[in-house]
Amino acid sequence: MTRLPALAAAFAPHGELAAALLPHAFAGNDGSHDASHLMRVWKNAQRIQAEEGGDSRQLAAAVLLHDCVAVEKNSPRRAEASRLAAEKAWQVLDGLGWRTLDISAVAHAILTHSFSANIPPETLEAKILQDADRLDAIGMVGAARCFYIAGRMGSGLYDPLDPLAEARPLDDKAFAIDHFETKLFRLADGFQTKAGRRLAVEREARLRSVLAMLVDEI
């Protein structure tokens, strides 16, 4: 990873930790879960943590490792992705000499961040990670990631005869914009922190604008 020092610096004030964890942070070649995603989630987490509090070092580790195991969106094992990532994170942090209590906190945050896992976060750090990650799934970036993933999965943008599924079942495996209704618009109601909920209102409004503009053009 030739740009490691520059990438690590983006996770200030935990640049040294980032340099140690970034080599373990990625799996596969998914452009929706790459270095730019981690940097955005970290920025979101910092904004929330500045208002809500929490352990910044644990949060940085959780952000850096939350997607360290790749399971494709269409895989039958998708719901296991966060558990597998938490297990890998435990091994990585243990190898760096972290205390068991801190490792457990990071692993819990990673385990519970996933929408697919459907496990409630119990700690402040876990709630912040979940909110920070979900903020990146809505808004303009969320729309871009949705279309990117649809392309990876071989889905169409929309049903040409019934774009908004007014007379057919929603099918986000076949059509990208169906995913707005099946998942993305549902995320805004599940934010865990006050700061996260406020940011989610802004992001969801942008996401709805993207859909409205697309529907107007088609």
pLDDT one-digit tens code per residue, 79-106: 678 899 999 999 999 999 999 999 999 9
Q: Is the dihedral of CA 88, 93, 97, 101 positive or negative?
A: negative
Place 29 in a pLDDT band, splitting at 50, 70 and 90.
confident
Measured CA to CA, the distance from residue 166 to residue 147 in angstroms comes to 21
Place 74 in a pLDDT band, splitting at 50, 70 and 90.
low
- Reading the block at residue 12, the tokens are 């200030």
Return the domain boundaries, the chain. 1-120, 137-218
Predicted local confidence at residue 2, as pLDDT: 59
Predicted local confidence at residue 132, as pLDDT: 97
Predicted local confidence at residue 80, as pLDDT: 79
Predicted local confidence at residue 114, as pLDDT: 87
Q: Is the peptide bond before 13 cis (omega within 30 degrees of 0)?
A: yes
Q: Which CATH number fits domain 137-218: 3.90.79.10, 3.40.225.10, 3.40.50.300, 1.20.58.1910?
A: 1.20.58.1910
Instruction: Assess whether pLDDT exceeds 70 at residue 75.
Output: no
Distance, CA of 32 to chain centre: 9
Model confidence over 177-198: pLDDT tens digits? Answer: 999 999 999 998 899 999 999 9
Q: Is the pTM of this model over 0.85?
A: yes
What single string gives the DSSP state of each residue in 49-92?
A: HHHH---HHHHHHHHHHTT-S---TTSTTGGGHHHHHHHHHHHH
Place 72 in a pLDDT band, splitting at 50, 70 and 90.
low
Fill in the DSSP letter of residue 180.
I
The fold adopted by the segment(s) 1-120 is Hypothetical protein af1432 (1.10.3210)
Model confidence over 42-51: pLDDT tens digits? Answer: 999 999 999 9
